[in-house]
Structure 1
Amino acid sequence: MPTTNTEMQWPQRGNRKTEFKTSHVGVVPTRPTEPLRFQQGIAVLGIVAILLSAITFSAISTSQQVQQFYTIEKTKRDTEKAHVTHMQQVKEIAKLLRSHSASQTLNRIDTSNATILIEQTDLVGEEQQSLQHFEVRISQDESNTIYTAKFLRYPSLLRLPTSNQQFSWDNQLTEWLFNRSIEHLSATYFPQSVAKQDCVDLPPASIFWIEGDCQLDNEDIAHSDENQPLMLLIVDGDLTLHADTQFHGLIVMLSTTSYTHTLHVSPEASIKGAYVSNHPLNASLDGSLTPSTTVLKNLQSHTTLAKIIPIPGSWYSNN
């Protein structure tokens, strides 16, 4: 056998060509290199294709997740916007309901972008107060939401003076009438009150909060009568009703000190309803005093004295 590493070529048969090489162990045919490279290329292309498929799938999946995220965020923002809009509408409705009926309120608000329903139920309180229960429902097709809230309207004059309090004094007076201590009672408790330092040129109103002395004549209260009575609160001041002054309603004289103030009712002047005080008064009563539960009830039920509060736990939305 040959012992040198020389290549030998054998005769060709057809187009087939086989290469051999010699070695010390004999003649060994060499392996073709082209098919191996082809297979390696195919394998690399397959791996690249798999990687590209994975990247494409990941990109599509990420794009879908991003789209879902933006869709969820938009829905969330739209829902929050609708919630804020409904809250504002409900607050506006509540303000109107404080002094208007349900039908009057619906005529005064914009219902172009929502459907608004107000249900009113008339109630009677423990002390025979006139109360109103309102259920407000706002629905909007665009956001597919329904917002519901309930309110209670009640008089700021919660209770009428008792027979013992009328034309007299009681140091627990404000707690009885308004459910407020005198330290926590102010003009802001009465939503439509007129607050002044005296009674000069009083405007037409139903509630007056006067801090100081008050000289009252008939021209100041000519707009009132038994059906439209007044509530006059005098804080740390004296009150004088001049001749021919006809007062219909409730006079509340409040003192935050130990000083004794004066109530003077001139001849030909009159009070129909009641006057009360939380402290003894120097009373000079030359006119007429006529207690009237009818006048006081008319005052209590007047919408200018009304207050409205949301009922806890009644605010909710359906979407």
Structure 2
Amino acid sequence: MKKIGVLTSGGDAPGMNAAIRAVVRKSIFHDMEIYGVKNGFQGLIDGNIDKMDVGSVGDIIQRGGTVLRSARCEEFKTDEGQQKGIEQLRKHDIEGLIVIGGDGSFRGAQKLSEKGYPCIGVPGTIDNDIPGTDFTIGFDTALNTIIEAIDKIRDTATSHERTYVIEVMGRDAGDLALWAGLADGAESILIPEKSDDFQDVILRLNRGHERGKKHSIIILAEGVGSGFAYGERIQEETNLETRVTVLGHIQRGGSPTASDRVLASRLGAMAVDLLLSGKGGRMVGIQNNQIVDHDIVGVLSEKHTINNDMYQLSKELSI
């Protein structure tokens, strides 16, 4: 294999640039040409493809977002859109493609692999919702952003003796809420994977108030519902002054942590190694601190799960 491409797709995640850098420099180290596809699968369809060199990825390892930019592309979900992408790959003599993104991006990579173009998926999403890997690129940075915000909100909650509902991202996964809630000592953590009775939240709040607790923090994953709706219900049932903060897209930005930079570098390099060994239709990940790879079809057929031990621990520590 002499020519490969790399693209980022779906929502951006801190550490994507570190992964791009690793892919580019690892490819050049092995005397391959490397091409960057801009704007995800839409850019692939449009032929927005440029050759990259060592200088193309200079001074990007510390930057959030993605220098290749990203876009969602409904057209690529169709056979016609995929054929347009394949035509562009042939036009540039690209023999393999590395796709950095989440499960939607992996489905695009799977389709290309099935049509004869080897693709390797690199998990880049703050949601940490990809089976087959303990962590995805961007999760650690987003988690630390959330923790920093909660720490500041707690100062205000304490000063004004208020209950705060903090809505965090994660789509249909509760990892960000669970990890942030445990790290910041939240009184309640509401995640999509657990159907907690709302009355349990009320019980905990009332119990804390009765023993003299002046403030409470409740972490709500966006996949559960609206933070504002939950805040209204809590105030109605407890008469405790309640405020709601939706952290929003601040969670997706910022300079990646050391953990995300290292993870992205390891996964990006492994993706190049897989293409060099003639493999396609694979996803790289990390399990027990070891870099692994899985069949991408198998990964997409699995369901994301949370760490039940951590969830139980959060319950036990928030009495």
Compute the TM-score of the two structures, normalised by the length of structure 1. Answer: 0.24
Larger Rg: 1
| Highest RCO, 1 vs 2 (Cα 8 Å, sep ≥ 6) | 2
Structure with the higher fraction of residues in helix conformation: 2
Structure with the higher fraction of residues in strand conformation: 1
